[in-house]
Amino acid sequence: PTASAAAAADAASARATQRTASSEADNANLLSSASGPGGVAAADHLPPFFHYGITVGLWGTSTIIAMVTSDLGLVLSLTGAIAASVVAYMLPAAVFWKADEKELRASWVVAKEQSGLRDRLYTVRDTIFVAALFLFGFCLIILGTLSAILLE
């Protein structure tokens, strides 16, 4: 990259940082105006009806599965296929995305202003890696579920 490309990248990064700072201020104002006890936003809590409905629904579903299933091999296979993929691939990708969300979004702004495909891909490589890791975990859930059901 030339000096002019580096200057353009620095300018785009500064604009992205400025936009992020103003949107964070707007979000802070919105949360402070809608916060309930303890400064927690009211939208973060479920009404008791929904909480108890979800709890009873999960309990009922697991009870029905336990009554219908005589062999736990399938249940353990499905649990392993889903939980292992989530813990090993999808959760680390989601944590990385959340931790570096500002930088990942800013890299897309910088990449839009770069001329070469190679430079653009290099700039957004972290975002591509996170998306690919999450997608790989999702594909493993599908494949693990299919193999557990078909090989049972």
71-127 tens-digit pLDDT: 888 888 888 999 999 999 999 999 988 888 888 888 878 888 888 887 788 778 888
| pLDDT the model gives residue 82 | 92
| Residue 28: pLDDT over 80 | no
| pLDDT the model gives residue 15 | 64
- What are the CA-CA distances from residue 57 to residues 9, 72, 136 (Å)? 51, 21, 30
Specify whether the CB–CB gap between 105 and 20 falls below 8 A: yes
48-75 tens-digit pLDDT: 889 899 999 999 998 998 888 888 888 8
Higher pLDDT, 47 or 33: 47
Structure pTM? 0.55
